[in-house]
Amino acid sequence: MRLMPWHRRLAILACVGIFSWAGSGMLHPLMSFLQERPATMAPRQQALPLEGLRSPAAVLSDPVSSTFQGLRLLQVDGEPYYQARVQGSEAPRYWHARDGGEVDLQARPR
């Protein structure tokens, strides 16, 4: 009979702890909903005008460029360029997408 009062006190203490733990867990979604979203860094997207672009097949007509692994259209200083990764070379090669001439964009000052 001596342990019964201690048993009740420990049970109440355990209930308070369990309810506190459950309450804090229920507050997490509420805090996430009410908290401000952090600003994310994203570059400005500009629309690339596609009229007047030459096809990649017409631009990449030399024999070395036929072994390319990847090709993408990108915009540098408002001008469209094709970037091609040539097999066996670590550095990509660039062609102007309007006039078709090969350009060394890596040597350009930034």
- Both tokens of 43, joined, read 């570059």
Task: Quick: pLDDT tens for 42-61.
Answer: 777 777 777 778 887 777 76
- Integer Rg of the chain from CA: 32
The 10s digit of each residue's pLDDT in 62-73 is: 655 557 778 888
Tell me the per-residue pLDDT of 31-40, one tens digit each, with 9 for 90 and over: 989 998 888 8
Strand-strand pairing, 102-103 and 93-96: antiparallel
Residues 6+ apart with CB under 8 A from 48: 73, 75, 80
* CA 7 to each of CA 19, 44, 75, 103: distance values in angstroms, whole numbers, following the listed order: 18, 65, 74, 83
Determine contact, residues 35/61, Cβ cutoff 8 Å.
Answer: no
C-alpha angle 81-108-90 in degrees, rounded to nearest 5? 70
Residue 13 is predicted with a pLDDT of 93
